[in-house]
Structure 1
Amino acid sequence: MLRRLVPGLLLTGLCVCTPPAEPPARPPPRLVLWAWERPEDLRFLSPADAEVAFLAATVHLTEESFRVVPRRQPLRLPPGLRPRATVRLEMRGGASLAHVPEALRQRVAEGLVDVARRMDAAGLQLDFDARESEHPAYLRLLEEVRARLPQGTPLSITALVSWCTRDGWLTRAPVEEVVPQWFRMGADGAAHEARLRRAPVAPCLHSLGVAMDEWRAPPSFASTVYVFNPRPWTALAFQTARSKVVTQVVTP
């Protein structure tokens, strides 16, 4: 009887085991190069490899008037690459956006949209370090810009990392993209970085801005990474940035 049972027991212990299926490879993040106010020759880029957001203008704003200072430096791009326009908004003379009259704010909104229209940009991005007291006024400005942009034109804003780790005012912003700036975070940078990695607010879950001269590994959730370079872009700098992003985000 035992001789008959042993082979059966041995066969029962055998199984055909297959290793678990490998998860599908994660696509690399979309890469966007910030081209700031200096001569930039980006003709080495392939439109399939990266996009470009260029500083198109700076708006100087007080509580009585505003002035649009257009880009003065040349920007050279490869054929087929349509960039997005970034506009830097700066309050001057101690002014606060919270105290800008509605009529002036509407004129500013029209000026911002006009920049994107004149540049035939693929989208408009606003770069403004709004203080907490300015958040409601900034939301109103964004609503007025959104209402004036041609249908289908994406609206993006940069953001301080601290905006992405507390109150949910950003969830009310009428924008397609929020880009937390993962650099120049100040004395509380390490704390903000830890909080963003742990529990970012919803609008900050997709894009991120990093800097070549203050590199921090982007969080794994970033599907679009903007890269700021304090020096003119070169093919080597671009390859370095792309390699770092792919290595640290796709295979952290």
Structure 2
Amino acid sequence: MLSRKVLTIVILISILITSAQLLAGIKGNKRENKYTTVLWAWERPEYLNFLKNTDTGVAFLAGSIEFRDSLIKSVPRLQPLSVDSDTIMTEVVRIDNIDHRDMNFTDKELTAISEFIVRMCSQKGKITHCQIDFDALESEREFYKNLIHDVRKKLPEKLSLSITALSTSDTSNN
């Protein structure tokens, strides 16, 4: 009897583990990368139509945000980017705090910044990923945390969100 009970418990645990792995796989597949190589397209004319029917994706600068003095300047991509319609795309928004200004933005300013990022990451095409790229001083981390949460809430669920961040506590290494 004891061995039958142990066997039943082992089978139930195996079923639970397998179910959890399957569910995690299903959730993970929704945003899974479908490419093995990613090309980067900076702010210059790029013609990448030759990537047709490949497992290569394109990450490109979709826009940038610059904090200088008391100004917030947001600029969408100005140069042409030409890719095949089946190319998987990652839109990247770069944030620069030029003068290391105080990052205590009002709610209205934070909303405007996050809405610009969402707008840049929700353009036409086969966009599956949105990436925010920034350098963060220790004093700026709270702002970026709030920004990332706000962007994630506003992005369509089908889009994944990632960051590339350089974190530092030293302002002297401009």
TM-score range, shorter chain: 0.5 to 0.7
Deviations, residues 134-157 of structure 1 (Å, cap 9, x unaligned): 111110110000111011210011
**8 Å contact kept, 1:85–1:119:** no
Structure 1 counterpart of 2:116, from 106, 111, 114 = 111
Q: 1:79 to 1:69 in 2, by over 3 A?
A: same
**8 Å contact kept, 1:113–1:148:** yes
Q: 1:86 to 1:149 in 2, by over 3 A?
A: same
Structure 1 counterpart of 2:145, from 139, 148, 154 = 139
Among all aligned residue pairs of Structure 1 and Structure 2, give the percentage whose two residues are the same amino acid. Answer: 37
For 2:128, what is the secondary structure of its paired residue?
A: coil
Describe how 1:56-205 pairs up with structure 2 within 5 A.
56-62=62-68, 64-97=70-103, 99-120=104-125, 121-160=127-166
Q: Flag structure 2 segments of 5+ consecutive residues without an equivalent.
A: 1-34
The TM-score, its normalising length taken from structure 1, stands at: 0.48
C-alpha deviation, 1:84, in angstroms: 1.7
C-alpha deviation, 1:131, in angstroms: 1.1
Give distance in 1, aligned partners of 2:50 and 2:86.
13
Structure 2 residue identity aligned to 1:147:
K
Give distance in 2, aligned partners of 1:45 and 1:61.
35
**8 Å contact kept, 1:62–1:96:** no
C-alpha deviation, 1:65, in angstroms: 4.3
Q: 1:140 to 1:47 in 2, by over 3 A?
A: farther
Question: What root-mean-square deviation, in Å, do the aligned CA atoms of Structure 1 and Structure 2 show?
Answer: 2.3
**8 Å contact kept, 2:128–2:158:** no
For 1:130, what is the secondary structure of its paired residue?
A: strand
Give distance in 2, aligned partners of 1:68 and 1:32.
25
Deviations, residues 18-57 of structure 1 (Å, cap 9, x unaligned): xxxxxxxxxxx82111110111111222443211011011
**Size of the alignment, in residue pairs?**
134
Q: Flag structure 1 segments of 5+ consecutive residues without an equivalent.
A: 1-28, 164-185, 187-252
Structure 1 residue identity aligned to 2:130:
L
The TM-score, its normalising length taken from structure 2, stands at: 0.67
